[in-house]
């Protein structure tokens, strides 16, 4: 058997998991005491808690508080091996994957590679808008936000100042609404103290949504409350609004209207990360991999997909399940059981999603909660949101740090993490980056 250096060969069947997000991490944890050898591969050496990226971007939390080392999660697990690597190709006929650190054979391959920002083939927006689908992108957005205020201090042209102070967020889902609310609260409670020379009455936060309502997919009452909360905070919510283009200074709407801004934040959609080598017939809507009721990828034996990348069509979910953490966790838990059943020759169980509800927070004491048995909004929903997200973070230390930050911010109306940390790049590093980009693009 071929293997990546340091991973021993043994008589155990090998399960290779690509991706250390909610799905991949849950699957590895569920198989840790099984009779499998587990190889977990990710481009980063940490798990990222995506629901709180927006708080990193708005200086509410430090990046380390919502990250957890993958190696730490599997200490003392001698049959679980982790490697930092990027998937390059799947050679399913040979039960082999190619990565940037070598090739590895598998008995079962599980793709938990998640999704990335979908720009809908608009090259200008892809080049000039700011995404927020990773921790590094959230840190970059924080730097951009803080840099805008620093630049505005030294700018005398009122038009340029307005463009620096305006923020346009595209996408009225949970990510967009939570980010818009956080920026609006920064404008109200924090920024005037940091930048007393600036007139923050000129700062505008726009939230643009192509559908007829924000929080589309939530109950009607939660959607309406969410919009009401945003407007209460001063966010300009524009629904039924399509973004046509962006040149770095002006957002062009489908109506022909324009919005001046140096900062367009794109949270309008996602598409599945590619898994090169799999048949094109296996790829469905949004770049997701089409799977059966057991998460087996269509047209491939021993290749499974779980989480955001998986497209499982059911009577209730004709376009696949929602791309949320609970779906990923539940699919991973069932797949672990099914792999054990398969080894024992037992019948496999079909996946059925148990919807535990949806939560979104707009601001201080303002949130919406759609549970299977009821919907409610306001302070109670906000407390539930806090509890659920706090308990979902990996690591007791991380939970403590997040709790302390939240408590401090709540009582002081302040945050202490507004740090501009830009990497220093010398000419040699720039040359190396350019060379690697050329190699990658070719």
Higher-confidence position of 441 and 88: 88
Given a cut of 90, is residue 436 above it in pLDDT? no
Instruction: Check pLDDT > 60 for residue 429.
Output: no
What pLDDT is stored for residue 422 in this prediction? 72
| Residue-range domains of the chain with CATH | 13-43+85-117+271-344 (3.50.50.60), 123-268 (3.50.50.100)
pLDDT digits (tens, 9 = 90+) for 252-281: 999 999 999 999 999 998 999 999 999 999
Provide CB contacts within 8 A for 315, sequence distance 6+.
none
The answer, yes or no, to whether residue 56 has pLDDT greater than 90, is yes
Active site residues: 178
Looking up tokens 């706090």 gives: 390
Q: What is the pLDDT of residue 425?
A: 55
- Give this prediction's pTM: 0.91
Q: Would you state the pLDDT for residue 5? A: 56
Looking at residue 426, what is its pLDDT? Answer: 56
* pLDDT tens column, 183-204: 999 999 999 999 999 999 999 9
Q: What is the mean pLDDT of residues 301-319?
A: 95
pLDDT of 109 > 80? The answer is yes
Q: How confident is the model at residue 47 (pLDDT cuts 50, 70, 90)?
A: very high
Q: In this structure, are residues 349 and 331 in contact, taking their beta carbons and an 8 Å threshold? A: no
pLDDT at residue 423 in the model: 66
Percentage of residues of the chain with pLDDT beyond 70: 94
Other C-beta atoms lying within 10 Å of the C-beta of residue 418: 17
Q: Rounded mean pLDDT of 72-87?
A: 92
pLDDT for 120:
92
Tens digits of per-residue pLDDT, 128-187?
999 999 999 999 999 999 999 999 999 999 999 999 999 999 999 999 999 999 999 999
- Distance between CA atoms of residues 96 and 436, nearest Å: 26
Task: Provide the pLDDT for residue 435.
Answer: 45
Secondary structure of the chain as H, E, C letters: CCCCCCCCCCCCEEEEEECCCHHHHHHHHHCCCCCEEEEEEECCCEEECHHHHHHHHCCCCCHHHHEEEHHHHCCCCCCEEEEECCEEEEEHHHCEEEECCEEEECCEEEECCCEEECCCCCHHHHHHCECCCCHHHHHHHHHHHHHHHHHHHCCCCHHHHHHHHCEEEECCCHHHHHHHHHHHHHHHHCHHHHCCCCCHHHCCEEEECCCCCCCECECHHHHHHHHHHHHHCCCEEECCCCEEEECCCEEEECCCCEEECCEEEECCCEEECCCCCCCHHHECHHHCEEECCCCEECCCCCEEECHHHEECCCCCCCCCCCCCHHHHHHHHHHHHHHHHHHHHCCCCCCCCCCCCCEEEEEECCEEEEEECCEEEECHHHHHHHHHHHHHHCCCHHHHHHHHHHHHHHHHHCCCCCCCCCCCCCCHHHHHHHHHHHHHHHC
């Amino acid at each position: 058997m071929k293997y990546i250096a340091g991973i021993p060969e043994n008589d155990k069947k090998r399960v290779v998991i690509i991706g250390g997000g909610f799905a991949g991490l849950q699957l590895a944890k569920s198989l840790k005491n099984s009779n499998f050898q587990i190889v977990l591969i990710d481009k980063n050496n940490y798990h990222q808690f995506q629901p709180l990226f927006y708080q990193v971007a708005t200086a509410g939390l430090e990046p380390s508080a919502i990250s957890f080392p993958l190696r730490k999660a599997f200490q003392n697990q001698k049959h679980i091996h982790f490697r930092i690597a990027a998937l390059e190709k799947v050679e399913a006929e040979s039960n082999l994957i190619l990565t940037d650190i070598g090739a590895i054979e598998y008995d079962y391959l599980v793709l938990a590679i998640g999704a990335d920002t979908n720009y809908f083939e608009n090259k200008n927006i892809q080049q000039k808008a700011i995404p927020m689908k990773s921790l590094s992108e959230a840190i970059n957005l924080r730097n951009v936000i803080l840099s805008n205020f620093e630049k505005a201090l030294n700018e005398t042209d009122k038009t340029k100042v307005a463009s620096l102070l305006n923020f346009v967020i595209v996408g009225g889902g949970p990510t967009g609404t939570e980010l818009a609310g956080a920026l609006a609260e920064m404008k109200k409670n924090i920024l005037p103290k940091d930048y007393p020379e600036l007139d923050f009455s000129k700062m505008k936060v726009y939230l643009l949504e192509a559908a007829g309502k924000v929080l589309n997919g939530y109950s009607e009452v939660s959607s309406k409350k969410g919009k009401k909360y945003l407007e209460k905070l001063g966010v300009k919510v524009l629904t039924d609004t399509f973004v046509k283009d962006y040149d770095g200074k002006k957002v062009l709407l489908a109506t022909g209207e324009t919005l001046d801004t140096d900062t367009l934040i794109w949270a309008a959609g996602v598409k599945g990360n590619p898994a090169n080598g799999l048949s094109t017939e296996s790829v469905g809507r949004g770049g997701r991999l089409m799977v059966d009721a057991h998460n087996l990828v269509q047209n491939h034996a021993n290749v499974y997909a779980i989480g955001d990348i998986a497209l499982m069509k059911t009577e209730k979910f004709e376009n696949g399940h929602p791309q949320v953490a609970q779906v990923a966790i539940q699919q991973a838990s069932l797949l672990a059981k099914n792999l054990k059943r398969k080894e024992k020759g037992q019948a496999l169980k079909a996946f059925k999603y148990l919807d535990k509800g949806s939560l979104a927070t707009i601001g201080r004491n303002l949130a919406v909660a759609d549970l299977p048995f009821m919907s409610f909004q306001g302070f109670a929903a906000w407390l539930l949101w806090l509890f659920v997200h706090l308990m979902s973070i990996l690591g007791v230390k991380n939970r403590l740090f997040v709790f302390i930050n939240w408590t401090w911010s709540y009582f002081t109306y302040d945050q202490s993490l507004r740090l501009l940390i830009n990497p220093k790049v010398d000419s040699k590093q720039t040359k190396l980056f350019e060379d690697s980009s050329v190699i990658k693009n070719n």
